[in-house]
Structure 1
């Protein structure tokens, strides 16, 4: 039975004050902020409301994947909804376009608001056990950091709101370096009070390992390689070394073996409620990703995978001369049946020879269509990613020879030869190792929402020459303007309404 321990939704609204005294009254059906934040149960429900933000359209229920997967060179869109497709190919005209930009901005700051309410009010509540209070506050800090992390990846220079906001607030825009500093602060403080493990009925809450994984991501985006090394070592050889690769690669992408030994942090999705994505009691706790990314006839097919990914998998066979099994579970593509004998799916679908779709997270193992209520958890960080990141960090720190073993751990599960055997030309050359590691990350992690941050970290979006190379495999990058499209425009309505906000350069 899937454990969904964190889906309570609490509506903690902001209330406007009427200008006229006689119009200033409280609704008997609404709990005011002054009436709330009194008990431990209030605090727990408050922190649970932060988890509920994963199930909103602008974040991980739907549109975040368009930003991170489809905008990268791994994916694209040919949706008949032209404006939606344009936001995956750098044709940004209406900066307020809801599905492409504004809803993710709104839901990000809505999530931050919920974190801030917990952090501002829970310290004043008396707990029987102070450790329980600390854990609630630590979760709020972790999630504030998480949401600011993805906001930094998408927009970079953003407001840092650290207190419960009011409608009249005009928050100051901060430079990316300040945003990273705040994220680091929140994560380091969260680490102190989160447990090494949670009880089974609390599955899905972040622990110390999840914190260290996100710290590593933050450090790596800033090229703080020494700090990243320390964070990753906690997970690999330190006090938090409890992770291992599961033997069955596909177990990372179905609901059959969730929260397994490879999972560092995953979003808990469920299909027990069939409502919308609002704040009502029947609101869904599901993922829409598979509905939008499935092939035509199975889902909406608003998001597809680039065919170069299929070719990348076929560049190197396994030890016994077969195709890399990861290809089978990563992508749908026209030769799937011929390559793997996958007779159940793919044979009668409507696709062209140059088309592919993301398979991870699909439910073809027990049904032949998708809908808006996928219960398959989304693994934001898994151990294979940690190992490949550690190899990258070691290479950056001049320990290329030491880095090989961590790539080999990932390759071994796929029955691939060691990296040195398959690619002896790399040797101890930093640049050659990095170029190969870029491909290793594709083969292991394609379609898992890490490629966009990878491209930014590697500097592949910083020069015309590097963007031109990307455009060879993804023609959408012919629209990419260096110095502009590495980040999204801020919704124009926010810029117009807040004199402390400046639109990102180039827009």
Structure 2
């Protein structure tokens, strides 16, 4: 951690640490030291924009975060010939300093936190003509800091809370998950009070009040604080923000044709404008690499695949018209896709194994016959269907199961499925049975969208060997899962060795 936190000091586009000048220490004309940069409203805007640039780095959702959230869960796996990479999706962690599996994601989380901290700490002292504009810039930084810490604690459990730009002399200590969740809640609560309900024009894509409330609800749900989660979700479902959101044509959540639509609560803005390498330069790539790594063999790298049990689950229940659940068509590539819906796979008939499937969401098969590193399809981190299903889960946990049905039904109705009580009358108001069915409803609606790993942790399905054994029936990689150990990743070993205030996670 110490090593990466030092590195972040060198990587921010416009800022260097100032030091005493002499003949061998001349200021570069292309950068400004900290005490000369944070002076104007324009500086503040550049500072917050630099945080968003972290979405284009490979350690996050552009590439490796997808491996952590989708492939490590029971929805996906890796059959990559790059054995070390595949091992990191099946709980065989040998080299804790493996760059692609661990260090890159850890580094980019703390680079993002560093940039957030610069805005939060320096912008308050900048004079603004409009104080509300200043407050919104700081609120964006707080949302984004909470965003990255949410994934840090979901992946690692024990991480360092950093609230200010660090110097090389700082050695932050690890915090407990409880402390980090409290920090996330504080940031999101403060951000939500300032962020607007909506943006227009070029500002669309920045976090709104609804995005802050939805992420706040996710943070509370991971702690199983159901009353607090419901209060946060009320804004989007029954409160002042509900008119801003609705469900849209399912496929339009995974294409570039109707981005930032009414179902979008928060999405990462990608672009194929710069077909260059990743990095921090102004001309660096701004696209997603996910489809390139998750596409079928001979189309992309095929380092990530979907578990076939998802195909089978989609086909278990027909629509009210007797058809296959239409979500399958836009969620997965699988052998019978052409026979079932008339769709080829990037223009090809099936040429892969009969028991294979791949994630389709975010692919560009609707107009291309291959993938590359510059996929412009925005990634919907939180969409309204997820919010509705979270609300149903929260109500069920609060023993309001009868009220929870309507929110599941809204999601099912879009796919022309019968109401839940009609399709599964045996559930009734049984809280446990409702929760079990909701797990599958979430998988069918949200598979491959980065929510399954947090779901498994929240549900406690990985807390006991009996729970893991049930998951193993869907994903044989969980035979490697050690209860109490693999619920979290190891910290990069270089960080442990470079910072005497932290120790490696338990059992590593």
Partners of 1:321 and 1:346 lie apart in 2 by 27
Q: CA deviation at 1:489?
A: 0.2
Per-residue deviation at 1:344? 6.1
What is the alpha-carbon distance in structure 2 between the residues aligned to residue 137 and residue 471 of structure 1? Answer: 44
Determine if contact 2:338/2:349 at 8 Å carries over to the other structure: no
Q: Which position in structure 2 is the counterpart of 1:30? A: 31
Q: Match for residue 484 of structure 2?
A: 483
In the TM superposition, what whole-angstrom CA distance separates every residue of 1:43-85 from its partner, at most 9, and x where no partner exists? 0000000000000000111100000000000000011111000
- Relative distance call for 1:34 and 1:398 in structure 2 (3 A) is same
Aligned match of 1:113: 114
Partner of 1:11: 13
What secondary structure does 1:467 align onto? helix
* CA offsets 1:227-256 (integer angstroms, 9 cap, x no match): 100111100110111244444210000000
Q: Is the 8 A contact 1:119 1:137 kept in 2?
A: yes
The CA distance in 1 between the partners of 2:119 and 2:258, in whole Å, is 32
Contact 1:10/1:46 (CA < 8 Å) preserved in 2?
no
Structure 2 residue ranges without an equivalent (≥5): 1-10
- Identify the residue that residue 4 of structure 2 maps to in structure 1: none
Q: Is the 8 Å Cα contact of residues 53 and 111 (structure 1) preserved in structure 2?
A: yes
Change (3 A) 1:497 1:341: same
Paired residue for 2:256?
255
Q: Does the 8 A contact of 2:333 with 2:345 survive in 1?
A: no
CA contact (8 A) 2:264 2:382 kept: yes
- Post-superposition shift, 1:349? 4.4
How far is 1:343 from its partner?
Answer: 4.0
Mapping 1:411-426, distance limit 5 Å:
411-426=412-427
Q: Which structure 2 residues correspond to residues 227-306 of structure 1 after superposition, within 5 A?
A: 227-306=228-307
1:246-300 deviation line (CA, Å, top 9, x unaligned): 4421000000011001000000001111121111121011100000000011100
Deviations 1:197-229 (CA, angstroms, capped at 9, x unpaired): 112221100110000000000000001000100
Cα distance in 1, alignment partners of residues 144 and 14 from structure 2: 17
CA contact (8 A) 2:12 2:115 kept: no
- How far off is 1:16 after superposition? 7.9
CA distance in structure 1 between the partners assigned to 2:349 and 2:395 by the alignment: 46
Equivalent residue, structure 2, for 1:85 = 86
The 8 Å contact of residues 58 and 64 in structure 1, kept in 2 or not, is answered as yes
Q: CA deviation at 1:146?
A: 0.3
Partner of 2:500: 499
Judged with a 3 Å threshold, the aligned counterparts in structure 2 of structure 1 residues 238 and 72 are, in CA distance, closer, same or farther, namely same
Distance (Å, rounded) in 2 between the aligned partners of 1:351 and 1:117: 49
Give, in angstroms, the shift of residue 40 of structure 1. 0.3
Residue 24 of structure 1 deviates from its aligned partner by 3.1
2:440 matches 1:427: no
Deviates further, 190-199 or 496-505: 190-199
Q: How many angstroms apart in 2 are the aligned matches of 1:328 and 1:436?
A: 22
1:338-349 equivalence runs, <5 A: 338-343=339-344, 345=346, 347-349=348-350
Q: Which runs of 5+ in 1 are unaligned?
A: 1-8
Partners of 1:55 and 1:277 within 8 A in 2: yes
CA distance in 2, matches of 1:405, 1:223: 22
Q: In 2 relative to 1, CA 315–346 (structure 1 residues): closer, same or farther, beyond 3 Å?
A: farther
Deviates more, 1:346-355 or 1:377-386: 346-355
Distance 2:46 2:354 in 1: 50
Partner of 2:394: 393
Per-residue deviation at 1:339?
1.3
> How many Å apart are 1:337 and its aligned residue?
1.1
Residues in 2 aligned to 1:113 and 1:36: alpha-carbon distance in whole angstroms: 16
SS in structure 2 of the partner of residue 270 of structure 1: coil
Give the secondary structure class of the aligned counterpart of 1:251: helix
1:23 is paired with a residue whose SS is: coil
User: Secondary structure at the residue paired with 1:264?
Assistant: strand
Write the deviation string for residues 104-146 of structure 1: whole angstroms up to 9, x where unpaired.
Answer: 1000000000000001110110000000000000000000000
The Cα shift of 1:437 comes to 0.1
What secondary structure sits across from 1:226 in the alignment? helix
Written as runs of structure 1 = structure 2, the 5 A alignment for 1:11-410 is 11-15=13-17, 23-343=24-344, 345=346, 347-410=348-411
Q: Is the 8 A contact 2:16 2:31 kept in 1?
A: no
The offset of 1:165, in angstroms, is: 1.1
Q: Distance in 2 between matches of 1:119 and 1:132?
A: 14
Q: Give the distance between the partners of 1:136 and 1:243, measured in 2 at CA.
A: 22
Distance in 1 (CA, whole Å) between partners of 2:492 and 2:482 is 19
Q: Secondary structure at the match of 1:314?
A: helix
The whole-number CA distance in structure 1 between the counterparts of 2:360 and 2:52 is 26
Contact 2:191-2:212 within 8 A present in 1 as well: yes
- In structure 1, distance between residues paired with 2:354 and 2:217: 39
Deviation at 1:17, TM superposition (A): 5.4
Match of 1:3 in 2: none
